[in-house]
């Protein structure tokens, strides 16, 4: 939209009013007794329309400041899960609100593949430019969800490989909840009752406690699959930091060895960064690991607001394979682009960047809790038929943080999360047995001292164990 003094003044007034109101949010706050029924009614309505209640009685008020969110009952909590990694700049960021306001007064709410405005082009250009240094990545196809970005990626790879029907994936991976992605993702409950018509060959993932041994186990099984099914694999898909699988961060040498073996067989290498995008020591995790030369395809989402599949010229599909009525909303495209710009322009990345400092603060606080409470951190148990040995208690990378109390028993971790919620912190779990505490803080606005405060509340929640 062209510059307009009236619009500029109106937006300046709105953003100014927001900032003044946000000054009332200074920390965790208990519920307002006069508004508890408002929250209870909203939770009941949600359960009714959805068919079941949520994990928490969480209904936002639509107001917050940075890492702090106000709920419908007037309580204020630290948001350490950010919509499973979506709200990287927290709640009510004035710059992003201004961006959204400007986008909201353009002519359409949604943009599509048949008809789009400049916001769609600019978003894709910005994302692609950020991914390109050192790679052969050439094209970006935006879409409305991470699962759809992965569906598009699968179609591209299958077409490129002339209909090769098999997919190489890893134990404990997660790719979304469409029919195809539920089959590739290694969550038994996620594919229960789903017809299994996608052919998936699973490989063991990186094990921090035994890098060399895990590499040999992975390569041995990979070679067996390549021998058994020659020219039948359309791709290998790799989460460089497994998300739902437990925030396990693979090392560069391990990934390179596996990816190069696939490259030798002509199999495209696909990095699934839907959850890791923007959150680690570089904008893309493959950049942090120096794997730019191996990226044939990358899928991104969550922090980018609008999701996308990025791929090389060699993988550019034939007309008709990719489309959709919607590629994203105008506000999401504009805010997503601004988020990418701010991440690149600020101090987020590098060995001493904000994300690294946040993780260091988390790691230090977690080590302190473990040293003071060894009884709450026994050897990690697993109900998986192929267990890892001596699973590390602390893990993740950058703004992906994992801690494993109570031996990884979900029956003990869930009550801990609810006690933590009552004390003022929204977090979640990950893993498939063992299970872990999972934190995805708003990395764009969080400070190390905020992490320390949150971890103090975690220890209080552990003190309350029955």
Q: Find the angle CA(188)-CA(191)-CA(194) to the nearest 5 degrees.
A: 145
- pLDDT bucket at 88, cuts 50 / 70 / 90: very high
CB-based contacts of 452, cutoff 8 Å, min separation 6: 361, 365
* Helix 330-345 and helix 118-131, axial crossing angle in degrees, nearest 10: 30
Q: What is the pLDDT of residues 5-21, one digit of tens each?
A: 999 999 999 999 999 99
Least confident of 98-102, 236-240, 244-248, 454-458: 244-248
Among 185-199, 262-276, 393-407, the least confident range: 185-199
Instruction: Report how far apart the first and last C-alpha atoms of the chain are (Å, whole number).
Output: 58
Distances (CA, A) of 410 to 164, 176, 413, 432, 457: 38, 22, 5, 9, 20
Which pLDDT belongs to residue 388?
53
Judged against a pLDDT cut of 70, whether residue 423 lies above it is answered with yes
Residue with tokens 């690294």: 356
**Average pLDDT over every residue of 210-225:** 96
CA distance 339 to 444: 9
Averaged pLDDT, 298-324: 97
Q: Which CATH number is 110-345 given? A: 3.40.640.10
Residue 252's contacts (CB-CB under 8 Å, 6 or more residues apart) are 289, 290, 291
**Residue 401 β-bridge partners:** 396, 439
The phi, psi pair for 300, rounded to 5°, reads -135, 165
pLDDT at 241: 97
Of 4 and 440, more confident: 440
pLDDT for 384 beyond 70: no
Q: If pLDDT is split at 50, 70 and 90, which confidence band does 140 have?
A: very high
Q: Over the stretch 147-164, which tens digit does the pLDDT of each residue have?
A: 999 999 999 999 999 999
Assigned token pair, 380: 């990690």
Which tokens in the block code for residue 417?
């999360």
Residue located via tokens 């599909």: 317
Q: What pLDDT sits at residue 390?
A: 62
pLDDT digits (tens, 9 = 90+) for 428-459: 999 988 999 999 999 999 999 999 999 999 99
| pLDDT at res. 72 | 98
Structure-derived torsion over alpha carbons of residues 395, 397, 401, 405, reported in degrees to the nearest 10: 0
Give the whole-angstrom CA distance, residue 175 versus residue 232.
21
Per-residue b or e along 167-200, where b marks 16 or more CB atoms closer than 10 Å to that residue's CB: bbbbbbbbbbebebbbbbbbbeebbeeeeeebeb
The 10 Å Cβ neighbour count of residue 163 is 9
Confidence of residue 386 (pLDDT cuts 50, 70, 90): low
* pLDDT reading at 2 higher than 70: no
The mean per-residue pLDDT over the stretch 313-332 comes to 97
Q: What is the pLDDT of residue 466?
A: 58
Q: Where are the domains of the chain?
A: 1-20+87-105, 110-345, 365-400+413-427+454-466
Three-state DSSP at 149 gives: helix
> Which residues on neighbouring strands pair with residue 298, listed in sequence order?
271, 310
| 215 CB-near residues (< 8 Å, 6+ apart) | 206, 253, 254, 257, 258
What distance in Å separates the CA atoms of residue 452 and residue 441, rounded to the nearest whole number? 12
pLDDT reading at 1 higher than 70? no
pLDDT of residue 391: 75
DSSP single-letter state for residue 431: E
Q: What does the chain come to in residues?
A: 466
407-415 average pLDDT score? 96
428-431 sheet: strands from edge to edge: 394-397, 400-403, 435-439, 428-431
Residue 389 has pLDDT above 70, yes or no: no
Dihedral sign, CA of 423, 428, 433, 434? negative
Residues near 345 by beta carbon (within 8 Å), at least 6 away in sequence: none
Give yes or no for residue 41 having a pLDDT over 80: yes
Q: Residue 277: its pLDDT value, please?
A: 98
What's residue 433's pLDDT? 86
Reported in sequence order, the residue ranges of 159-302 that DSSP labels E, i.e. its strands, are 166-170, 199-203, 233-238, 269-273, 297-300
Confidence check: pLDDT of 385 > 80: no
CB 272 within 8 A of CB 299: yes
> What is the rounded average pLDDT of the residues 91-102?
98
Q: What is the mean pLDDT of the chain?
A: 96
Could you tell me which of 183, 152, 179 has the C-alpha nearest to residue 167? 183
CA dist 159 → 48, 282, 283, 292 (Å): 42, 31, 29, 23
- At 465, the pLDDT band (50, 70, 90 cuts) reads confident
């Amino acid at each position: 939209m062209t510059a307009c003094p009236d619009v500029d003044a109106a937006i300046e007034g709105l953003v100014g009013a927001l900032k003044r109101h946000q000054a009332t949010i200074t920390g965790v706050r208990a519920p307002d007794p006069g508004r508890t029924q408002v929250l209870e009614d909203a939770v009941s309505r949600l359960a009714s329309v959805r068919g079941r209640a949520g994990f928490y009685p969480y209904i936002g008020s639509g107001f917050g400041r940075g890492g702090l969110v106000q709920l419908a009952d007037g309580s204020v909590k630290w948001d350490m899960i950010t919509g499973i990694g979506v709200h990287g700049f927290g709640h009510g960021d004035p710059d992003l609100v201004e961006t959204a306001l400007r986008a909201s007064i353009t002519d359409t709410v949604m943009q599509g593949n048949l008809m789009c405005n400049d916001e769609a082009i600019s978003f894709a250009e910005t994302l692609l430019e950020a991914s390109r240094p050192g790679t052969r990545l050439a094209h970006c196809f935006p879409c409305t969800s991470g699962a759809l970005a992965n569906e598009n990626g699968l179609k591209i790879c299958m077409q490129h490989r002339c209909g090769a029907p098999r997919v190489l994936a890893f134990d404990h991976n997660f790719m979304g909840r469409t029919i195809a992605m539920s089959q590739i993702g290694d969550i038994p409950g996620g594919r229960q009752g789903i017809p299994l018509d996608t052919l998936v060959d699973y490989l063991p993932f990186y094990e921090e406690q035994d890098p060399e041994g895990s590499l040999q186990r992975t390569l041995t099984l990979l070679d067996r699959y390549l021998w058994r099914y020659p020219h039948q694999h359309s791709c290998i898909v790799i989460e460089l930091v497994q998300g739902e699988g437990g925030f396990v961060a693979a090392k560069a040498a391990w990934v390179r060895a596996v990816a190069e073996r696939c490259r030798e067989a002509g199999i495209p290498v696909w990095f699934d960064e839907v959850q890791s995008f923007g959150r680690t020591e570089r904008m893309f995790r493959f950049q942090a690991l120096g794997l730019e030369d191996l990226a044939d395809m990358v899928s991104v989402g969550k922090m980018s607001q609008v999701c996308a599949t990025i791929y090389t010229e060699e993988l550019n599909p034939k007309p008709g394979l990719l489309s959709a009525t919607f590629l994203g909303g105008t506000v999401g495209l504009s805010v997503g682009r601004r988020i990418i710009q701010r991440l690149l322009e600020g101090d987020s990345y590098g060995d001493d960047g904000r994300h690294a400092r946040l993780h260091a603060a988390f790691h230090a606080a977690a080590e302190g809790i473990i040293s003071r409470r060894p009884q709450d951190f026994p050897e990690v148990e697993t109900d998986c038929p192929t267990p890892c040995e001596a699973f590390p208690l602390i893990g993740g990378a950058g703004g992906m943080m994992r801690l494993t109390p109570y031996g990884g028993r979900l029956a003990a971790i869930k009550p801990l999360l609810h006690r933590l919620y009552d004390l003022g912190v929204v977090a979640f779990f990950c893993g498939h047995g063992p299970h872990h505490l999972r934190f995805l803080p708003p990395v764009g606005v969080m400070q190390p001292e905020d992490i320390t405060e949150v971890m103090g509340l975690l220890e209080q929640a552990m003190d309350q164990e029955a």
